[in-house]
Homo-oligomer: A and B are copies of this chain.
Amino acid sequence: MSRQRIVILGGGFAGVYAAMKLEALSKSRTDLEITLVNHENYFVFQPLLPEIISGDIGLIDAISPLRRLLPRTQLFIRDVDGVDFENNTVRLRPGFWPQLRNVQYDHLIVAMGTVTDFRGFPGLAEHALRFKTLQDAVVLRNHLIQVIQEAGIEDDPARKAALLTFVVAGGGFSGVECCAQINDFVRRLARHEPSIDPAQIQVLLAHSGPRILDKEFPESLSEYSQRVLVKKGIRLLLGKRLKAATPDSAVFADGQRILTKTLVSTVPSSPNPAIEGMGLSEERGRLVVDGTLRVQGKENVWSLGDCALVPLPKGGYAPPTAQHATRQAAHLAKNIVRAIDGKPLATFSFDMLGKMGALGHRYAVAELFGKIRLSGLPAWLMWRTIYWWKLPGIDRKIRLGVSWFLDLLIRPDFVQLRLDAQPGVGQRHYETDEFVFMQGDLGDALYVILKGSVSVIARIDGVEQEIARLQAGECFGELAVMSHEGRTASIRCCEPTDLMVIGRSDFRSLVSHLPSFARGFEEIASNRRVARAESTAPLIDR
C-alpha cells in the first residue's frame, strides 16, 4: 500500500481542524502521512484575541502549541514560497540557512485565510495598528501602555490630548470587540496616573455604515450594542470612512483629521498574497472550489475556510467564520480519505448556529438559529461558556479557567513586554501642513522624499520664514543626524507626502562604510548650500 502524503498550508481554524480530523481518521490505517505548514508554531483561538489587549486573560491563554494539538503531524514552521502543481511540490522559505525547502504532496489543502491589507490607504501600513494576529494584539497592548505612561508625564496639552485619543476604524465584530477592550484597558490604566483626568480620554469607533454591526445583526441588537458602547464611554462616528493615516492623525474621507497616536484599523482583510501567485482560479479574491471542497480544475488540491469560496446547497457561499471553517475541515478530511479510497465524495452543507460578539467586560450580544436574541450579562456568560468549551486542548481549558478566575481575584497586569527592534529603513506618510520635525528637535533620522513636497522653515532673527522647498527625490535631515545638535530648521509638508526614513544608526553605518553613499549625500548637501548661500562647513564629517 503506497503512503499518501497530505500537506496542509495554514494553521488557523481551517487548517488545524482539518489536520486534527485527518489524525483521527488515520488512527485505523497506516497509509496517511499528514504535514502542516504555518508561520507560527501555535494556533490562535481568534475569538479570545481581544481579551489579550486588556490582560483579562494571559498572553498565551488563547493560543495552543500546534505540536500539542497535532501530535502525529509533521510540522514545518516556515513561510510558503510557492507551489509547483506540475510536480506536486510546495516550496518553503528558508529557516536558518538561505535555501528553499521542497515538500512533496499527494493531496494539498490550501487553508491560508486572509491577511490585513492596507494597499490603497496612504499611511496605514506605516502608522495604523493592525488587529488580526497574536503579534498584533501584543503590539497594540504594549502601545496602549506606553501611550498612557507618556500621557502621564506630558505637559503640553495638545500632545496630551493626542495621546489620550484612541481611534478604531471598522464597526464589524473585530472592530467592536477591539474597541471595547481598548476602552476598558486605557481607562483602567489611567486610574494609576494622577495627572490624567478620565474626562480627557476619548475612545472613538469609526464605521462607514449607518450602525455598528449592521452587517452582522438585526437593527435591535446592533442598536443595543451601540447603547452599551456609549454607556462605557465610547464615541461612535457613524457613516465615517477612514482614508489615510499620518504619524499624528487619522484622516477621514470627509476631510476630517483627528489628532491621535493610536489608530487601529480592522478594515476588511484581503486574500493571502501567497495564494494570488499560485495561478488557481479565483473569484472575489477567494479560491473557487466545488461542493466537495476540491479546487476547480485540480484533482488533488483542496481549499476551505476564509480563503475559499465555498458554495452552499441552498445557494450563496459560506461566510468566513470559524463555525464554518471547522465544519468544512471535518468534511474535507473525510472527502480526501474517500478520494484516496476511490469512493464517491460528499457535498458540504451547514447552517450557521448563531452569532456572538463581546462588548468588553460583562456585556455581549448574540443571535441563535436566526431567531433567539440575547444581550447583556446572559449573553456574556454564554459567550464565555461556549468559547471555553470550544477551546481545543484540556491544558488550555485549565489555563483559561484559571486566568478567568484570577481575573476576579487579582488585578490585571500591565507589564509592557517590550522587545526592542532595530528600526531599519521605513516609510512615513504625511498630509498637507503637517510637520515632519521642528527646529531644535533631536536628529533621529534622515528623510528622502518619495512623493510630494516639503517646505523648509527656519526662525531667523525671531521671524519664521521659508528658506527652501524640496521635491520628490530630494532628501533632508542629514545635518542633525551626523552632528549632536538639534534640527536647524522645521519641515512642513506642502501636500500629501510620502517619505523614506533611514534611522540614525543605520545612516551612520552606511555613511562611514560606503564611500559612494557618503559622496552622494555630500553632493546633495553642497548643491543645497550653494542654492541657499548658507554656511560652508563640511556637512558630513568623516
Among the listed stretches A94-102, A227-235, A237-245, which one makes contact with chain B, having 4 or more residues with CB under 8 Å of it? Answer: A94-102
Contact in complex: A59, B417 (CB < 8 Å): yes
Contact in complex: A425, B506 (CB < 8 Å): yes
Please, which residues of chain B bring their CB within 8 A of the CB of A415?
41-42, 60, 63-65
Please, which residues of chain B bring their CB within 8 A of the CB of A97?
159, 441
Alpha-carbon distance between A440 and B99 when the two chains are bound, in angstroms: 8
Contact in complex: B99, A441 (CB < 8 Å): yes
Please, which residues of chain B bring their CB within 8 A of the CB of A68?
411
Q: In the complex, what residue of chain B is closest to A75 when comparing beta carbons? A: B149
Given contacts A96-B163, A421-B422, contact A517 B517 (CB under 8 A): yes
Given contacts A101-B153, A425-B506, A500-B513, 18 further A-B contacts (CB under 8 A): A41-B416, A65-B413, A75-B152, A77-B149, A94-B442, A94-B444, A96-B159, A98-B441, A98-B444, A99-B440, A99-B442, A398-B410, A422-B423, A424-B424, A425-B509, A475-B514, A500-B509, A517-B517
Shortest beta-carbon distance, A388 to chain B, in Å? 15
* Interface membership of chain A positions 182-216, coded 1 if the CB is closer than 8 angstroms to chain B and 0 otherwise: 00000000001000000000000000000000000
Q: Which of A41, A96, A415, A523: most chain B Cβ within 10 A?
A: A415
Tell me the chain A residues, 48-97 only, with Cβ under 8 Å from chain B.
58-60, 63-65, 67-68, 71, 74-77, 94-97
A432 at the interface (CB under 8 A from B): no
Contact in complex: A74, B153 (CB < 8 Å): yes
Contact in complex: A516, B519 (CB < 8 Å): yes
Contact in complex: A414, B67 (CB < 8 Å): yes
A524 at the interface (CB under 8 A from B): yes
Contact in complex: B523, A516 (CB < 8 Å): yes
Please tell me which one of the listed residues B410, B475, B503 contacts residue A399 in the complex, with CB atoms under 8 A apart: B410
When all copies of this chain in the complex are counted, the total is: 2
Alpha-carbon distance between A159 and B101 when the two chains are bound, in angstroms: 14
Alpha-carbon distance between A95 and B152 when the two chains are bound, in angstroms: 12
Q: Which of A149, A513, A517: most chain B Cβ within 10 A?
A: A513
Please, which residues of chain B bring their CB within 8 A of the CB of A71?
192
Q: In the complex, what residue of chain B is closest to A59 when comparing beta carbons? A: B59
Please, which residues of chain B bring their CB within 8 A of the CB of A134?
417
Please, which residues of chain B bring their CB within 8 A of the CB of A352?
none
Interface residues of chain A: helix, strand, loop or mixed (majority): mixed
Contact in complex: B138, A419 (CB < 8 Å): yes
Contact in complex: A42, B425 (CB < 8 Å): no
Q: In the complex, what residue of chain B is closest to A411 when comparing beta carbons? A: B395
Contact in complex: A417, B473 (CB < 8 Å): no
A278 at the interface (CB under 8 A from B): no
Contact in complex: A414, B192 (CB < 8 Å): no
Please, which residues of chain B bring their CB within 8 A of the CB of A60?
58-59, 413, 415, 417
Contact in complex: A145, B420 (CB < 8 Å): no
Please, which residues of chain B bring their CB within 8 A of the CB of A163?
96
A409 at the interface (CB under 8 A from B): yes
Number of interface residues of A (CB under 8 A): 90
Alpha-carbon distance between A67 and B192 when the two chains are bound, in angstroms: 7
Contact in complex: A424, B513 (CB < 8 Å): no
* Interchain Cβ contacts under 8 Å between A and B, 16 examples: A41-B414, A60-B417, A77-B416, A95-B154, A96-B163, A97-B159, A101-B153, A399-B406, A402-B406, A421-B422, A422-B424, A424-B503, A448-B513, A516-B516, A516-B524, A517-B517
Please tell me which one of the listed residues B153, B437, B521 contacts residue A98 in the complex, with CB atoms under 8 A apart: B437
Contact in complex: A65, B520 (CB < 8 Å): no
Please, which residues of chain B bring their CB within 8 A of the CB of A517?
514, 516-517, 520
Contact in complex: B76, A153 (CB < 8 Å): yes
Tell me the chain A residues, 128-166 only, with Cβ under 8 Å from chain B.
134-135, 138-139, 145-147, 149-150, 152-154, 159, 163
Given contacts A99-B441, A519-B520, A520-B514, contact A423 B424 (CB under 8 A): yes
Q: In the complex, what residue of chain B is closest to A441 when comparing beta carbons? A: B98
A374 at the interface (CB under 8 A from B): no
Alpha-carbon distance between A411 and B324 when the two chains are bound, in angstroms: 31
Given contacts A395-B410, A437-B98, contact A515 B520 (CB under 8 A): yes
A27 at the interface (CB under 8 A from B): no
CB-CB nearest 8 A-B residue pairs: A516-B520, A421-B421, A424-B424, A422-B424, A98-B441, A425-B506, A98-B442, A395-B410
Please, which residues of chain B bring their CB within 8 A of the CB of A399?
406, 410
Please, which residues of chain B bring their CB within 8 A of the CB of A286?
none
